[in-house]
């Protein structure tokens, strides 16, 4: 959930072109609309030579893909298999997902919900103190000063909220792309309740 600074990806593209290198981007988590664009690199209008996709491409089903420019294409039909087998059922799933994400207004809604999620997480970070926010779209995180992410994740789960402790001090938020404004508000309520329970059990955890 670390967003590269403005110009970082375009700088990589420039270096790759200058020295005749391949620019390869892993968009397994960030691709297929997650950050408000179909690919996260589109925020900087950058095209990679090779891009990997997964997770969101199959909407929970086992599907991944490798995109490449003509310059980088090295496979012939049938060369690749296994994880990237591309059986007809999974291929149809991927096509359906791409049509949904590409539909008019879908990505605009992701951007709007992402802004609402950011606002709520920033409010929580300010309330808790010594906590910061980072991310983009519907891939965001709270960075805690104390290594209590796993405990907070468990406290949230007990209250019906599933969040991931990506690092000992990082709580990751990666909701489904159709999350509603009401669900984001409910997320904030349950997360605050989880934090309050954690603080009551661990007096050393800062509250301001």
118-128 per-position pLDDT tens digit: 999 999 999 99
Average pLDDT over residues 18-33: 97
Q: For domain 109-201, is the CATH number 3.90.1150.10?
A: yes
Q: Tell me what pLDDT residue 74 has.
A: 87
The predicted pLDDT at position 84 comes to 60
Euclidean distance between CA atoms 63 and 93, whole angstroms: 8
Q: Distance (Å, rounded) from C-alpha 133 to C-alpha 11?
A: 25
| Inter-CA distances, 97 with 57, 83, 136, Å | 6, 18, 21
Distance CA 30, CA 23 (A): 16
Q: According to CATH, where is 3.40.640.10 located in the chain?
A: 8-102
Quick one: pLDDT at residue 82?
65
Instruction: Delimit the CATH 3.90.1150.10 region(s) of the chain.
Output: 109-201
The per-residue pLDDT for 77 is: 74
Distances (CA, A) of 48 to 4, 65, 70, 116, 182: 15, 14, 11, 30, 37
Residue 146 predicted with pLDDT over 60: yes
Fold of 8-102: 3.40.640
The residue that leads in pLDDT, 85 or 22, is 22
pLDDT digits (tens, 9 = 90+) for 47-85: 999 999 999 999 888 888 889 999 899 888 777 666 666
């Amino acid at each position: 959930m670390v967003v590269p600074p403005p110009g970082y990806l375009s700088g990589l593209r420039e270096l790759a072109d200058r020295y005749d290198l391949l620019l390869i981007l892993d968009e397994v988590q960030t691709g297929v609309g997650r950050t408000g664009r179909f690919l996260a690199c589109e925020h900087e209008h950058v095209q990679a030579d090779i891009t990997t996709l997964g997770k969101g491409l199959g909407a929970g089903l086992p599907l991944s893909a490798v995109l490449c420019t003509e310059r980088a294409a090295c496979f012939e039909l049938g060369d690749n298999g296994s994880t990237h087998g591309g059986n007809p059922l999974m291929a149809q799933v991927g096509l359906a997902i791409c049509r949904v994400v590409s539909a008019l207004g879908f990505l605009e809604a992701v951007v709007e919900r992402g802004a609402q999620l950011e606002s709520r997480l920033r409010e929580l970070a300010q309330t808790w103190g010594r906590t910061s926010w980072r991310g983009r779209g519907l891939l965001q995180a709270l960075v805690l000063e104390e290594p209590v992410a796993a405990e907070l994740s468990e406290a949230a789960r007990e209250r019906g909220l599933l969040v991931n402790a990506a690092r000992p001090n990082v709580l990751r938020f990666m909701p489904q792309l159709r999350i509603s404004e009401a669900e984001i508000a409910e997320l904030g309520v349950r997360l605050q309740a989880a934090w309050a329970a954690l603080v009551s059990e661990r007096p050393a955890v800062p509250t301001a």
